[in-house]
Amino acid sequence: MINVCGNRYETFRRTLERYPETLLGADKRRKHYYDKTREEYFFDRHRGCFEAILYYYQSNGRLRRPEYVPLDTFIEEVTFFQLGEQALNQIRKDENIKEVKKVLLPKHPLRRYLWILMEYPDYSKLSKFVNILSLIMIMVSTITLSIETLPEYVHIDTLNCTEINSNSSRSSYACSSYFISPFFLIQTICIGYFTIEFLLRLLTSPSLVQFVKSAMNWIDFIAIIPFYITVAIRLAGRHNQVDSRIYSNLRFLTVLRLARIFKFYGVFKSMKSFRVLATAITESLLDFLLMIIILSLFGFLFGTVAYYAENDSNGQQFDSIFKASYWGIITITSVGYGDIAPITVIGRITSCLCALCGAATIGMLVSVLVDRYQRIYARTLFINDEPIHIDDYSDDENEDTDNIIRVNSVDIPLEGEEEEE
Protein backbone atom coordinates (compact mmCIF):
# COMPACT_ATOMS: atom_id res chain seq x y z
CA MET A 1 0.00 0.00 0.00
CA ILE A 2 1.36 3.41 -1.02
CA ASN A 3 -0.13 6.59 0.47
CA VAL A 4 0.56 9.85 -1.38
CA CYS A 5 -0.95 12.77 0.55
CA GLY A 6 -4.10 10.80 1.36
CA ASN A 7 -4.49 8.99 -1.97
CA ARG A 8 -3.80 5.28 -1.56
CA TYR A 9 -2.47 3.09 -4.36
CA GLU A 10 -2.01 -0.65 -4.50
CA THR A 11 0.30 -2.55 -6.82
CA PHE A 12 2.39 -5.71 -6.87
CA ARG A 13 5.88 -5.68 -5.40
CA ARG A 14 7.25 -7.30 -8.54
CA THR A 15 5.85 -4.39 -10.57
CA LEU A 16 7.99 -1.92 -8.62
CA GLU A 17 11.03 -4.21 -8.74
CA ARG A 18 11.12 -3.95 -12.53
CA TYR A 19 13.28 -0.89 -11.94
CA PRO A 20 15.46 -1.76 -8.93
CA GLU A 21 17.56 1.41 -9.26
CA THR A 22 14.61 3.67 -8.48
CA LEU A 23 13.26 4.80 -5.09
CA LEU A 24 10.18 2.56 -5.17
CA GLY A 25 11.98 -0.36 -6.82
CA ALA A 26 14.75 -0.63 -4.21
CA ASP A 27 13.62 -2.07 -0.88
CA LYS A 28 16.45 -0.38 1.03
CA ARG A 29 15.48 3.03 -0.31
CA ARG A 30 11.72 2.90 0.15
CA LYS A 31 11.84 1.42 3.67
CA HIS A 32 12.68 4.88 5.04
CA TYR A 33 9.14 5.94 4.08
CA TYR A 34 7.37 2.96 5.67
CA ASP A 35 4.79 3.75 8.37
CA LYS A 36 4.65 0.75 10.73
CA THR A 37 1.55 2.05 12.47
CA ARG A 38 -0.57 2.11 9.33
CA GLU A 39 1.50 -0.53 7.53
CA GLU A 40 1.92 1.54 4.40
CA TYR A 41 4.45 3.68 2.58
CA PHE A 42 3.73 7.37 2.97
CA PHE A 43 5.00 10.10 0.62
CA ASP A 44 4.18 13.76 1.11
CA ARG A 45 4.45 14.46 -2.62
CA HIS A 46 2.36 15.65 -5.57
CA ARG A 47 -0.60 13.30 -6.06
CA GLY A 48 -1.20 14.08 -9.74
CA CYS A 49 2.40 13.33 -10.63
CA PHE A 50 2.45 10.03 -8.74
CA GLU A 51 -0.25 8.52 -10.94
CA ALA A 52 2.01 9.05 -13.95
CA ILE A 53 5.02 7.74 -12.03
CA LEU A 54 3.18 4.59 -10.93
CA TYR A 55 2.06 4.02 -14.52
CA TYR A 56 5.75 4.20 -15.49
CA TYR A 57 6.28 0.95 -13.54
CA GLN A 58 3.08 -0.68 -14.77
CA SER A 59 3.70 0.09 -18.46
CA ASN A 60 7.37 -0.88 -18.56
CA GLY A 61 8.77 2.64 -18.99
CA ARG A 62 6.06 4.81 -20.55
CA LEU A 63 6.14 8.21 -18.86
CA ARG A 64 3.70 10.98 -19.77
CA ARG A 65 3.20 14.29 -17.98
CA PRO A 66 -0.43 15.07 -17.08
CA GLU A 67 -1.71 18.21 -18.79
CA TYR A 68 -2.62 19.89 -15.50
CA VAL A 69 0.84 19.38 -13.95
CA PRO A 70 3.50 22.06 -14.61
CA LEU A 71 6.64 20.80 -16.26
CA ASP A 72 9.00 21.91 -13.49
CA THR A 73 6.85 20.16 -10.85
CA PHE A 74 6.79 16.95 -12.88
CA ILE A 75 10.57 16.95 -13.37
CA GLU A 76 11.03 17.57 -9.64
CA GLU A 77 8.84 14.57 -8.76
CA VAL A 78 10.55 12.31 -11.30
CA THR A 79 13.89 13.32 -9.82
CA PHE A 80 12.66 12.64 -6.26
CA PHE A 81 11.48 9.13 -7.10
CA GLN A 82 14.83 8.52 -8.84
CA LEU A 83 13.44 7.22 -12.10
CA GLY A 84 16.81 7.81 -13.69
CA GLU A 85 18.34 9.54 -16.65
CA GLN A 86 16.37 7.47 -19.15
CA ALA A 87 13.08 8.82 -17.79
CA LEU A 88 14.42 12.38 -17.82
CA ASN A 89 15.57 11.97 -21.42
CA GLN A 90 12.08 10.74 -22.30
CA ILE A 91 10.59 13.90 -20.77
CA ARG A 92 13.05 16.11 -22.64
CA LYS A 93 12.13 14.39 -25.90
CA ASP A 94 8.37 14.59 -25.34
CA GLU A 95 8.52 18.21 -24.19
CA ASN A 96 11.10 19.14 -26.84
CA ILE A 97 13.61 20.42 -24.28
CA LYS A 98 16.86 20.80 -26.19
CA GLU A 99 20.33 20.71 -24.76
CA VAL A 100 21.84 24.18 -24.69
CA LYS A 101 25.55 24.79 -24.99
CA LYS A 102 27.26 26.65 -22.22
CA VAL A 103 27.92 30.31 -22.94
CA LEU A 104 31.28 30.75 -24.63
CA LEU A 105 33.12 33.98 -23.77
CA PRO A 106 36.51 35.35 -24.88
CA LYS A 107 39.53 35.06 -22.59
CA HIS A 108 40.77 38.65 -22.80
CA PRO A 109 38.90 40.86 -20.28
CA LEU A 110 38.36 43.76 -22.71
CA ARG A 111 37.19 41.52 -25.53
CA ARG A 112 34.96 39.61 -23.11
CA TYR A 113 33.40 42.86 -21.83
CA LEU A 114 32.74 44.20 -25.34
CA TRP A 115 31.26 40.89 -26.49
CA ILE A 116 28.87 40.73 -23.52
CA LEU A 117 28.02 44.38 -24.03
CA MET A 118 26.79 43.76 -27.57
CA GLU A 119 25.38 40.25 -27.31
CA TYR A 120 23.61 40.22 -23.92
CA PRO A 121 21.34 43.26 -23.37
CA ASP A 122 20.31 42.11 -19.88
CA TYR A 123 23.87 42.17 -18.57
CA SER A 124 23.92 45.85 -17.56
CA LYS A 125 22.28 49.20 -18.16
CA LEU A 126 25.00 50.06 -20.67
CA SER A 127 24.19 46.86 -22.59
CA LYS A 128 20.53 47.87 -22.71
CA PHE A 129 21.52 51.33 -23.95
CA VAL A 130 23.62 49.81 -26.75
CA ASN A 131 20.73 47.53 -27.64
CA ILE A 132 18.28 50.47 -27.76
CA LEU A 133 20.74 52.53 -29.81
CA SER A 134 21.00 49.68 -32.34
CA LEU A 135 17.22 49.56 -32.55
CA ILE A 136 17.04 53.32 -33.17
CA MET A 137 19.69 53.13 -35.89
CA ILE A 138 17.86 50.29 -37.64
CA MET A 139 14.57 52.20 -37.52
CA VAL A 140 16.12 55.45 -38.77
CA SER A 141 17.92 53.65 -41.60
CA THR A 142 14.79 51.73 -42.62
CA ILE A 143 12.56 54.83 -42.51
CA THR A 144 15.09 56.82 -44.55
CA LEU A 145 15.21 54.06 -47.13
CA SER A 146 11.40 54.16 -47.32
CA ILE A 147 11.31 57.95 -47.69
CA GLU A 148 13.68 57.71 -50.65
CA THR A 149 10.98 55.81 -52.54
CA LEU A 150 8.46 58.68 -52.34
CA PRO A 151 7.58 60.17 -55.78
CA GLU A 152 9.32 63.47 -55.04
CA TYR A 153 12.55 61.66 -54.07
CA VAL A 154 12.45 58.57 -56.28
CA HIS A 155 14.61 60.29 -58.96
CA ILE A 156 17.13 61.68 -56.52
CA ASP A 157 19.92 59.84 -58.35
CA THR A 158 19.09 61.69 -61.57
CA LEU A 159 18.67 65.02 -59.79
CA ASN A 160 22.04 64.77 -58.11
CA CYS A 161 23.93 63.41 -61.10
CA THR A 162 24.68 65.49 -64.17
CA GLU A 163 25.16 63.92 -67.57
CA ILE A 164 28.56 65.09 -68.89
CA ASN A 165 28.97 62.97 -72.02
CA SER A 166 26.22 61.62 -74.28
CA ASN A 167 27.88 61.66 -77.72
CA SER A 168 27.86 57.87 -78.01
CA SER A 169 25.85 54.87 -76.93
CA ARG A 170 27.27 55.26 -73.45
CA SER A 171 26.57 58.15 -71.11
CA SER A 172 28.68 59.49 -68.24
CA TYR A 173 27.56 61.22 -65.06
CA ALA A 174 29.07 63.49 -62.42
CA CYS A 175 27.50 62.78 -59.01
CA SER A 176 29.28 65.17 -56.67
CA SER A 177 26.08 66.70 -55.28
CA TYR A 178 24.89 63.31 -54.03
CA PHE A 179 27.32 63.47 -51.09
CA ILE A 180 25.65 66.54 -49.59
CA SER A 181 22.09 65.18 -49.74
CA PRO A 182 20.42 64.57 -46.33
CA PHE A 183 19.72 60.95 -47.25
CA PHE A 184 23.40 60.28 -47.78
CA LEU A 185 24.36 61.93 -44.49
CA ILE A 186 21.81 59.91 -42.51
CA GLN A 187 22.82 56.67 -44.20
CA THR A 188 26.49 57.45 -43.54
CA ILE A 189 25.84 57.80 -39.81
CA CYS A 190 23.77 54.61 -39.65
CA ILE A 191 26.13 52.53 -41.79
CA GLY A 192 29.08 53.87 -39.81
CA TYR A 193 27.47 52.63 -36.60
CA PHE A 194 26.64 49.24 -38.16
CA THR A 195 30.20 48.92 -39.46
CA ILE A 196 31.77 49.67 -36.08
CA GLU A 197 29.38 47.23 -34.42
CA PHE A 198 30.15 44.51 -36.98
CA LEU A 199 33.92 44.95 -36.68
CA LEU A 200 33.80 44.93 -32.88
CA ARG A 201 31.74 41.75 -32.87
CA LEU A 202 34.15 40.19 -35.37
CA LEU A 203 37.25 41.13 -33.35
CA THR A 204 35.79 40.15 -29.97
CA SER A 205 34.05 36.95 -31.03
CA PRO A 206 35.07 33.97 -28.86
CA SER A 207 34.87 31.65 -31.87
CA LEU A 208 35.70 32.94 -35.34
CA VAL A 209 34.38 29.75 -36.93
CA GLN A 210 30.99 30.10 -35.25
CA PHE A 211 30.91 33.77 -36.17
CA VAL A 212 31.42 32.95 -39.85
CA LYS A 213 28.81 30.19 -39.71
CA SER A 214 26.14 32.50 -38.29
CA ALA A 215 23.54 33.54 -40.88
CA MET A 216 22.76 36.76 -39.00
CA ASN A 217 26.38 37.90 -39.34
CA TRP A 218 26.20 37.41 -43.10
CA ILE A 219 22.99 39.43 -43.16
CA ASP A 220 24.78 42.23 -41.30
CA PHE A 221 27.59 42.11 -43.84
CA ILE A 222 25.19 42.14 -46.81
CA ALA A 223 23.38 45.12 -45.29
CA ILE A 224 26.62 47.10 -44.96
CA ILE A 225 28.64 46.39 -48.09
CA PRO A 226 26.21 47.89 -50.70
CA PHE A 227 26.70 51.36 -49.19
CA TYR A 228 30.46 51.27 -49.72
CA ILE A 229 30.12 49.91 -53.26
CA THR A 230 27.67 52.71 -54.07
CA VAL A 231 30.02 55.34 -52.63
CA ALA A 232 32.95 53.92 -54.59
CA ILE A 233 31.00 54.04 -57.86
CA ARG A 234 29.84 57.59 -57.23
CA LEU A 235 33.35 58.73 -56.26
CA ALA A 236 34.61 57.28 -59.52
CA GLY A 237 31.91 59.24 -61.34
CA ARG A 238 33.01 62.62 -59.95
CA HIS A 239 36.05 62.94 -62.22
CA ASN A 240 35.93 59.88 -64.44
CA GLN A 241 33.39 58.55 -66.86
CA VAL A 242 31.03 55.97 -65.37
CA ASP A 243 29.17 53.59 -67.63
CA SER A 244 25.40 54.21 -67.49
CA ARG A 245 24.83 50.48 -67.11
CA ILE A 246 26.90 50.50 -63.91
CA TYR A 247 25.03 53.58 -62.78
CA SER A 248 21.68 51.86 -63.28
CA ASN A 249 22.83 48.87 -61.22
CA LEU A 250 22.96 51.07 -58.14
CA ARG A 251 19.25 50.43 -57.68
CA PHE A 252 20.00 46.74 -57.20
CA LEU A 253 22.38 47.64 -54.38
CA THR A 254 19.57 49.66 -52.81
CA VAL A 255 17.48 46.49 -52.69
CA LEU A 256 20.27 44.70 -50.82
CA ARG A 257 20.15 47.41 -48.17
CA LEU A 258 16.76 46.04 -47.16
CA ALA A 259 18.64 43.16 -45.53
CA ARG A 260 19.25 45.40 -42.51
CA ILE A 261 15.58 44.89 -41.58
CA PHE A 262 16.58 41.41 -40.41
CA LYS A 263 18.79 43.05 -37.80
CA PHE A 264 15.63 43.46 -35.76
CA TYR A 265 15.97 39.76 -34.95
CA GLY A 266 19.35 40.36 -33.36
CA VAL A 267 17.85 43.09 -31.19
CA PHE A 268 14.78 41.18 -30.03
CA LYS A 269 16.31 37.70 -29.72
CA SER A 270 16.99 38.25 -26.01
CA MET A 271 13.27 38.65 -25.25
CA LYS A 272 11.71 35.44 -23.94
CA SER A 273 8.32 36.06 -25.60
CA PHE A 274 10.03 36.59 -28.97
CA ARG A 275 12.03 33.37 -28.56
CA VAL A 276 8.83 31.50 -27.68
CA LEU A 277 7.15 32.83 -30.82
CA ALA A 278 10.17 31.93 -32.96
CA THR A 279 10.25 28.42 -31.47
CA ALA A 280 6.52 27.95 -32.07
CA ILE A 281 6.88 29.00 -35.71
CA THR A 282 9.94 26.77 -36.19
CA GLU A 283 8.18 23.74 -34.73
CA SER A 284 5.13 24.47 -36.90
CA LEU A 285 6.96 24.65 -40.24
CA LEU A 286 5.73 21.18 -41.21
CA ASP A 287 2.17 22.22 -40.37
CA PHE A 288 2.61 25.36 -42.46
CA LEU A 289 3.89 23.35 -45.41
CA LEU A 290 1.08 20.82 -45.11
CA MET A 291 -1.51 23.60 -44.90
CA ILE A 292 -0.10 25.34 -47.98
CA ILE A 293 -0.29 22.07 -49.92
CA ILE A 294 -3.88 21.44 -48.78
CA LEU A 295 -5.01 24.98 -49.62
CA SER A 296 -3.31 24.79 -53.02
CA LEU A 297 -4.99 21.48 -53.82
CA PHE A 298 -8.40 22.78 -52.73
CA GLY A 299 -7.82 25.96 -54.73
CA PHE A 300 -6.99 23.91 -57.81
CA LEU A 301 -10.05 21.69 -57.25
CA PHE A 302 -12.50 24.57 -56.84
CA GLY A 303 -10.82 26.46 -59.66
CA THR A 304 -11.30 23.52 -62.01
CA VAL A 305 -15.00 23.28 -61.11
CA ALA A 306 -15.39 27.05 -61.59
CA TYR A 307 -13.66 26.85 -64.99
CA TYR A 308 -16.12 24.32 -66.39
CA ALA A 309 -19.03 26.22 -64.81
CA GLU A 310 -17.98 29.65 -66.11
CA ASN A 311 -16.14 28.97 -69.34
CA ASP A 312 -19.20 29.21 -71.59
CA SER A 313 -20.78 32.30 -69.98
CA ASN A 314 -17.68 34.02 -68.60
CA GLY A 315 -14.90 32.68 -70.79
CA GLN A 316 -13.01 35.98 -70.90
CA GLN A 317 -12.17 35.76 -67.20
CA PHE A 318 -12.14 31.98 -66.76
CA ASP A 319 -10.22 31.21 -69.96
CA SER A 320 -8.02 28.44 -68.52
CA ILE A 321 -7.73 26.14 -65.53
CA PHE A 322 -4.55 27.94 -64.45
CA LYS A 323 -6.37 31.27 -64.25
CA ALA A 324 -9.30 29.60 -62.50
CA SER A 325 -6.88 28.00 -60.01
CA TYR A 326 -5.51 31.48 -59.29
CA TRP A 327 -9.08 32.56 -58.51
CA GLY A 328 -9.55 29.47 -56.32
CA ILE A 329 -6.42 30.14 -54.24
CA ILE A 330 -7.28 33.83 -53.82
CA THR A 331 -10.81 32.90 -52.72
CA ILE A 332 -9.88 30.05 -50.38
CA THR A 333 -7.38 32.26 -48.54
CA SER A 334 -10.10 34.92 -48.05
CA VAL A 335 -8.10 37.53 -49.99
CA GLY A 336 -10.64 38.15 -52.74
CA TYR A 337 -9.07 40.75 -55.05
CA GLY A 338 -12.24 40.87 -57.14
CA ASP A 339 -10.41 40.94 -60.48
CA ILE A 340 -12.08 37.61 -61.36
CA ALA A 341 -15.64 36.85 -60.28
CA PRO A 342 -18.13 34.11 -61.25
CA ILE A 343 -21.51 35.08 -62.72
CA THR A 344 -23.31 31.74 -63.02
CA VAL A 345 -25.27 30.06 -60.24
CA ILE A 346 -22.96 27.02 -60.11
CA GLY A 347 -19.92 29.29 -60.14
CA ARG A 348 -21.20 31.36 -57.22
CA ILE A 349 -22.09 28.24 -55.23
CA THR A 350 -18.57 26.97 -55.89
CA SER A 351 -17.21 30.32 -54.71
CA CYS A 352 -19.15 30.08 -51.43
CA LEU A 353 -18.00 26.52 -50.78
CA CYS A 354 -14.41 27.51 -51.57
CA ALA A 355 -14.49 30.42 -49.11
CA LEU A 356 -16.09 28.31 -46.34
CA CYS A 357 -13.57 25.53 -46.86
CA GLY A 358 -10.70 28.02 -46.65
CA ALA A 359 -12.04 29.63 -43.47
CA ALA A 360 -12.39 26.22 -41.78
CA THR A 361 -8.94 25.05 -42.85
CA ILE A 362 -7.16 28.24 -41.81
CA GLY A 363 -9.10 28.24 -38.52
CA MET A 364 -7.78 24.78 -37.71
CA LEU A 365 -4.22 25.91 -38.43
CA VAL A 366 -4.60 28.94 -36.16
CA SER A 367 -5.91 26.75 -33.33
CA VAL A 368 -2.92 24.41 -33.71
CA LEU A 369 -0.50 27.34 -33.58
CA VAL A 370 -2.18 28.87 -30.52
CA ASP A 371 -2.10 25.55 -28.68
CA ARG A 372 1.54 25.02 -29.57
CA TYR A 373 2.44 28.56 -28.51
CA GLN A 374 0.76 28.06 -25.14
CA ARG A 375 2.57 24.78 -24.54
CA ILE A 376 5.94 26.26 -25.46
CA TYR A 377 5.30 29.33 -23.32
CA ALA A 378 4.32 27.14 -20.35
CA ARG A 379 7.41 25.01 -20.97
CA THR A 380 9.80 27.98 -20.89
CA LEU A 381 8.01 29.97 -18.19
CA PHE A 382 9.87 28.34 -15.32
CA ILE A 383 13.25 28.23 -17.06
CA ASN A 384 15.28 31.24 -16.02
CA ASP A 385 18.03 32.44 -18.32
CA GLU A 386 21.53 31.72 -17.11
CA PRO A 387 23.16 34.88 -15.74
CA ILE A 388 26.24 36.04 -17.61
CA HIS A 389 29.34 36.41 -15.45
CA ILE A 390 32.21 38.40 -16.89
CA ASP A 391 34.74 36.21 -15.03
CA ASP A 392 33.31 33.02 -16.57
CA TYR A 393 35.01 32.06 -19.82
CA SER A 394 36.03 28.95 -21.69
CA ASP A 395 39.60 27.69 -21.98
CA ASP A 396 38.76 26.36 -25.45
CA GLU A 397 38.38 29.70 -27.20
CA ASN A 398 38.04 29.62 -31.00
CA GLU A 399 37.11 25.94 -31.05
CA ASP A 400 33.99 24.70 -32.75
CA THR A 401 32.38 23.09 -29.70
CA ASP A 402 32.47 23.32 -25.94
CA ASN A 403 33.36 20.46 -23.64
CA ILE A 404 30.37 21.18 -21.43
CA ILE A 405 26.69 21.27 -22.18
CA ARG A 406 24.11 22.76 -19.85
CA VAL A 407 20.78 21.00 -19.46
CA ASN A 408 18.23 22.49 -17.09
CA SER A 409 20.92 24.56 -15.36
CA VAL A 410 23.11 21.47 -14.75
CA ASP A 411 26.56 21.14 -16.30
CA ILE A 412 26.97 17.71 -17.90
CA PRO A 413 30.27 16.54 -19.49
CA LEU A 414 30.02 15.32 -23.04
CA GLU A 415 30.43 11.63 -23.79
CA GLY A 416 34.01 10.47 -23.46
CA GLU A 417 35.07 13.23 -21.10
CA GLU A 418 35.85 12.62 -17.46
CA GLU A 419 34.27 14.80 -14.81
CA GLU A 420 36.55 17.12 -12.91
CA GLU A 421 36.78 16.41 -9.23
61 within a domain of the structure (yes/no): yes
The helix-helix angle for 182-204 and 109-119 (nearest 10°) equals 130
Which of 139-143, 246-250, 296-300, 352-356 is least confident? 246-250
Which of 243, 269, 295 is the last residue before a domain boundary?
269
**Is 91 found in the same domain as 205?**
no
**Is 225 found in the same domain as 305?**
no
**Is 250 found in the same domain as 167?**
yes
**Is 78 found in the same domain as 113?**
no
24 within a domain of the structure (yes/no): yes
Q: What three-state secondary structure class fits 273? A: helix
pLDDT bucket at 408, cuts 50 / 70 / 90:
very low
In whole angstroms, give the CA distance from residue 346 to residue 160: 59
124 within a domain of the structure (yes/no): yes
352: region left, alpha or beta (phi > 0 left; psi from -120 to 50 alpha): alpha
Which of 68, 97, 126 is the last residue before a domain boundary?
97
How does pLDDT run across 222-259, given as a tens digit for each residue? 878 888 887 887 777 554 444 555 555 555 666 666 66
**Is 315 found in the same domain as 264?**
no
**Is 289 found in the same domain as 198?**
no
**Is 209 found in the same domain as 136?**
yes
Q: Give the torsion through C-alpha atoms of 344, 345, 346, 347, to 10 deg.
A: 50
In whole angstroms, give the CA distance from residue 40 to residue 230: 82
**Is 193 found in the same domain as 340?**
no
The parent domain of residue 27 ranges over: 2-97
How does pLDDT run across 363-393, given as a tens digit for each residue? 888 887 787 777 777 666 555 555 555 555 5
Which of 42, 68, 97 is the last residue before a domain boundary?
97
**Is 219 found in the same domain as 159?**
yes
420 within a domain of the structure (yes/no): no
Q: For position 406, what pLDDT does the model report?
A: 39
Report the domain count for the chain.
3
414 within a domain of the structure (yes/no): no
Question: What's the pTM value of the predicted model, to 2 decimals?
Answer: 0.55
Residue 32: give its domain's CATH number. 3.30.710.10
**Is 181 found in the same domain as 53?**
no
Sign of CA dihedral 141, 143, 146, 148: negative
396 within a domain of the structure (yes/no): no
Span between the terminal Cα atoms of the chain, in Å: 41
**Is 346 found in the same domain as 240?**
no
Q: What three-state secondary structure class fits 353? A: helix
What would the mean pLDDT of 295-306 be, rounded to a whole number? Answer: 91
**Is 325 found in the same domain as 235?**
no
